[in-house]
Amino acid sequence: MEWFSTWFDSQYYHILYQHRNDDEAHFFINNLIQKYKPTPSSTMLDLACGKGRHSIYLASKNFDVTGVDLSEQSILHASKSSHDRLHFYVHDMRKNFRSNYYNFIFSFFTSFGYFENERDNDATLNAIRRGLKPNGIFVMDFMNADKVIQNLVTEEKKTIQDITFNIERKFEQGKIIKSIQFSDKGKDYFFEEKVRGFQLYELSRLFRKCQLNIIDIYGDYDLSSFDIKTSNRLILVAQKK
């Protein structure tokens, strides 16, 4: 099985990453709204939405928001917040969801680069393009892989809810690989995360191939300019051709 189909659906994934920064997410969304000025009738899709923290905040601004994720457990949790302008579905981002429907599609917090082959990357971006209305906008929030690789923390321990997570990281064959080992209730567990360390030129090539026209590039959630050495994020904003 693909690593993300089991790890993201595990209770331990949510334990390890329970301290996501909601203030940071809200700050980013507020800046995007100010910059791109969606109308009150705008339809939005949050890809790989997890438990829905971005979707819920977008819906609080009165937009029509859909969140999708491969993890059934995440969608089960997110659906508790559903209402008439906020909906959640289990869905694989590589497959078409709706056609010519969304004004905005978001991929927040490095929710791309998980796949083993480029066909799946193409399939994801093509599904995004098909889901957008003409002139619709796609926002990809990716890590600045160059900075991450240069500053890679190779070993780390985190103890959360009496579980000690032993974490190792390495960069190998173009992927940032995080190995996670721990024990709970007498049972040993091992998971791996593998994310392709895409650089700007590689993502630009993928976007062009899938007919997504990059209109802006940012380096952080304040929408500052991207710098390959210093930026924390690589944020691409593209428009459907």
Residues 6+ apart with CB under 8 A from 37: none
CATH of the domain at 46: 3.40.50.150
Q: Give residue 44's Cα distance to chain centre.
A: 15
pLDDT tens per residue, range 187-240: 999 999 999 999 999 999 999 999 999 999 999 999 999 999 999 999 999 999
Say yes or no: 190 and 222 in one domain: no
Cβ atoms of residues 12 and 163 within 8 Å = yes
Say yes or no: 136 and 163 in one domain: no
Task: Give 10-residue mean pLDDT values along the chain (241 residues).
Answer: 91 91 94 97 96 97 97 96 98 96 97 94 98 98 97 97 98 97 97 97 97 98 98 98 81
Rounded CA separation 45/49 (Å): 9
Say yes or no: 11 and 115 in one domain: yes
Q: How many domains does the chain have?
A: 2
Tell me how long the chain is.
Answer: 241
Q: Specify which residues 214 forms β-bridges with.
A: 238
Say yes or no: 138 and 153 in one domain: no
Helical axes 53-60 vs 22-36, angle rounded to 10°: 50
Question: What is residue 176's three-state secondary structure?
Answer: strand
Say yes or no: 84 and 98 in one domain: yes
Say yes or no: 131 and 152 in one domain: no
Cβ atoms of residues 220 and 233 within 8 Å = yes
Q: Note down the domain range covering 47.
A: 3-143+199-240
CB-based contacts of 117-120 (< 8 A; 24+ apart in sequence): 118/206, 120/94
Global confidence as pTM? 0.95
Say yes or no: 49 and 121 in one domain: yes
| Residue tagged 């940032």 (tokens) | 176
